[in-house]
A and B are shown apart, each in its own frame.
Chain A
Amino acid sequence: MITIDRLNKRFGGLHVLQDVSTTIHKGDVVSIIGPSGCGKSTFLRCLNLLERPDSGHVFIDGEDMLAAGTNIAAVRQKMNMVFQSFNLFSHLSILENLTLGPIQLKGADPAAAKDKAMELLRLVGLAEKFGHFPDELSGGQKQRIAIARCLAMDPEVILFDEPTSALDPTMVREVLSVIRKLAKDGMTMLIVTHEMDFARDVSTRVFYMDSGGIHEDSTPEQIFQNPQKAKTRAFINRTRSLSFPIETRDFDFYGMNAQIEAFCEKHLLAKRLRQNVLLLVEEVLQVHRPQLGEGLLTLTLEYSERLNRLELICTQEGPDRHPLEGDHLPDEFGVLIIRSLVESLEYSYGDGRTRLAMAVRAGAPLGGE
């Protein structure tokens, strides 16, 4: 029902949408997720031409929105939008907000439009507010009215542009349950959202958008349980990272420690975990010390909020040699300590770099103290 073909949009030098193509079918509930500034909202706004794409095509029921001579206003009537900031008409009462479109655009009989508007207000649970004005309502109520206003136009698709981002956490639920109800009734919807649980429950498809396009398009199960691409995975697991490139033996060790501590504090990591990671970093450096100066050593800390897991990844340019095995080590102590501080340890080699990934233990070191 909506076909998007090689859509491009630039803002100055920024290429926000790069050759985006996809098809939305009737009854699809598509959640669009992705980091801030990845073009999710722009993508949505290009569909109803609130932003004019630089090139490409948008077909709504086979009609090309961007072709000359298309009655864009008429097509928009089939495809309404719910905004982050509600955008209710502040000079009209709630009821008039709902009836303005049907009466002016569809020539609806005022009495009939009023009846229908009341019905929709009942659907979103705000029938008793019909005579109020927008600034007398809470954010959640306003957003429910905005949804009802869209429904009053009998649209075929509703575009939701971050419908809950401007709401208090307490009000998010009331809006989401209205959207859930619409999904159950089979309304075709595209929802840009940051509510991951909601996206997983309600959608039939999820777009993960990143680097100028739809990076991964799949079912919610696939995206949330087994994302296929690294960027998707990092986003889903809500991973934060910190890296240190180390070139010589004379690097600022104390400065690095201070940064690691700050990173841990920022993500509210347990004290034990903090101690473990500092100890681990020191030992890993000790193990790699002989090779320092031969190739770039990079230490990266990755913390996944969702999995509550802290990983230390250590890559070094050089030959394929497991840093913890072999006879180049002065003694076994370093390796023993490292193994006692981690839950798992993985070694791999690629691109001329050794890679050692260690999940830091949250509890007391094995066999220690």
Chain B
Amino acid sequence: MVKSFEISANCAGGIRHLPCAAQRLIVCSRRIAATALTSIPIKRYMKSPRHLWLFLLLPILASLAGCHDGSATMHTLDEAAHSRMGVMTGTSGEALAARQFPKADIKHFDDILDAIAALKAGQLDSVLTGYPTVLLTTQRNTDLTYLPDVLSTEDTSIGVRKGNTELHDQLDNILSELKADGTLADMKRRWFKEEPGPYQEVDIPVPTTGTPLKIGIIATREPISFIDPHGRVTGHDAELARRIGQKLGRPIEFNALRMPALIPALVSGKIDAIITGLSATAERRERIDFTQRYYELRQHLLVRADRTTHAQGPSMGERLASSVRSNLLKENRYLLLIGGLKTTVVISIMSALFGTLLGAGICFMRMSPSAWLRRPAIVFIDILRGTPVLVLLMIIFYVVFASIDISPLLVSVIAFGLNFGAYSAEIFRSGIEGVDNGQVEAGISLGFTRVQTFVHIVLPQMIQKILPVYKGEFISLVKMTSVVGYIAVQDLTKASDIIRSRTFDAFFPLIMVAVLYFVISWVFIKLIGLIELKTDPRRRRQREARS
């Protein structure tokens, strides 16, 4: 009951940012909800799917409309001092906001795109970010603008591991050369464009053999570093990295990571350098070394534009069509989604296979009469079930395999497999214990060995018993894999992040991905359901009766 009221309270908060028609709809449906909540028991109300659909539909409609009223628009820094301000975790902007706007309500986002989406939705009043992002965002979103005040200027430099002086000096020299011959200025002109239009890319031949230089990037920072329609890393900093590779005579290997993972990856040796618009702040200098700067980053506040600039917005249908065009069709972005879908499915299936085998082994140990086998199994199960899988994933990638060159895909399968193994071991155990011991005795007294009894009598009944639970566990595994982006695996969620980073459209890709996860889960549920039918003796008999 309480929860439902909270939901309607939230609705009320978000309402003022919606267009009139949507507002009227929401007010109307809230009235229905209020009546429903007070006049009929909540259970009955929740059972009515027609009303529920309305609620699910509203935020989607509202998001496609993507509108807000102009009253909250800011024009000066003074107004910003008490505003709701978005920053990206781990960036220099985050530290700057805390320093310069101590009274502002600062919200921390894992990705600047999420902050921009929140700004558009009216949940924020401003977003503090670097000029290249500001420029591009305002070009692509007519409803956003920025305050001209420069909040700070920072040195954008290449990060290298402390003590790796050889690489540091090499990179410093290369940057000096590029600066001297005007290459850096030319790159800046081509990538950080004041006017919208296609980028002029320069083809830089990079060696394909030799020890690769591993570069850490954030793949969602157009125009600094991002993924192009062919799935290739591109942008100002990517070009810089390729030029470095060319000069060093080494191939370049890009590792797309999340902001919080960049510096740990560098320190642990997973990557050799960070070239992704990283500001050389004092705090970061304590952990890693920086080269000289290759451009100057100015921090600005991104805000919503005055309403008058787009008084007559396009209709909802046009918005939807344009969302489909920009998010799916343009530059064949749907291919990214398909690629991500494949990765998600592969990781899910491989982890489930590995986890099931592991779970069977752990279950065997757990049920063994010997304490030497049983104890380690109990410890394994307790630890794995008590650790968030994301933390486990990061530990395996950045700690266990810190200095080993291992495919992040394999690490994902290991991490999710371990987690799934711990859960499935307990599922198997409950299944085995659920089989009546009398039947085991009957099997043994007929002359079956213990193993034969297990195979012919316990196993078929166990499978039948555990499938419903196993199915649920598998589906939650599929959904859990959405965090693999943290270790640079490009799965479905990451693919949608990449698309969002290009289109600056928060909602359509998210809803797309939600639908895709649902479809994957649904297909798997149906597939496991088929196995369930196969192992159900009654169904089998019906089938036999028919044939």
Contact = CB atoms under 8 A, between A and B. Distances in A.
A100 B442 CA distance: 12
Contacts of A263: none
Interface of B: 436, 438-439, 441-449, 452, 456-457, 460-461, 464, 537-538, 541, 545
Interface of A: 48, 50, 73-74, 76-77, 79-81, 83, 85-93, 100-101, 104-105, 131, 133, 146, 149-150, 153, 159
Contact of B460 (A76, A91, A131, A159): A91
B206 to A, nearest CB: 61
A77 B445 CA distance: 7
A145 B452 CA distance: 21
B456 A80 contact: no
B460 A101 contact: no
A152 to B, nearest CB: 9
Contacts, number: 73
22 contacts: A50-B444, A50-B445, A73-B452, A74-B447, A77-B446, A77-B447, A80-B447, A83-B441, A87-B438, A87-B439, A87-B441, A89-B439, A89-B457, A90-B461, A91-B457, A91-B461, A93-B537, A100-B456, A101-B446, A105-B446, A105-B447, A153-B446
B439 A101 contact: no
A76 B439 contact: no
Contacts of A91: 457, 460-461, 464, 537
Contacts of B436: 87, 90
Main secondary structure of the interface of B (DSSP, over half): helix
A48 B464 CA distance: 30
B461 to A, nearest CB: 5
A88 B446 CA distance: 12
A79 B444 CA distance: 11
**In the A-B complex, the 9 residue pairs with the closest CB atoms:** A77-B447, A87-B442, A87-B438, A81-B445, A76-B447, A101-B446, A91-B461, A73-B449, A91-B460
Contacts of A80: 445-447
Contacts of A79: 445
A85 B441 CA distance: 11
A306 B537 CA distance: 49
Contact of B447 (A88, A133, A146, A153): A153
Contacts of B456: 100, 104
B440 to A, nearest CB: 9
The winner among A74, A87, A93, A104 for most chain B CB atoms within 10 A is A87
A83 B446 contact: no
B546 to A, nearest CB: 13
A90 B445 contact: no
Nearest to B545: A131
A104 B454 CA distance: 13
A149 B541 contact: no
A73 B447 contact: yes
Nearest to A100: B456
A17 to B, nearest CB: 19
Contacts of A159: 445
Given A81-B445, A105-B446, 18 more contacts: A50-B441, A73-B448, A73-B449, A74-B447, A76-B447, A79-B445, A80-B445, A80-B447, A83-B438, A83-B441, A87-B441, A91-B461, A91-B464, A101-B446, A105-B452, A133-B541, A149-B446, A150-B446
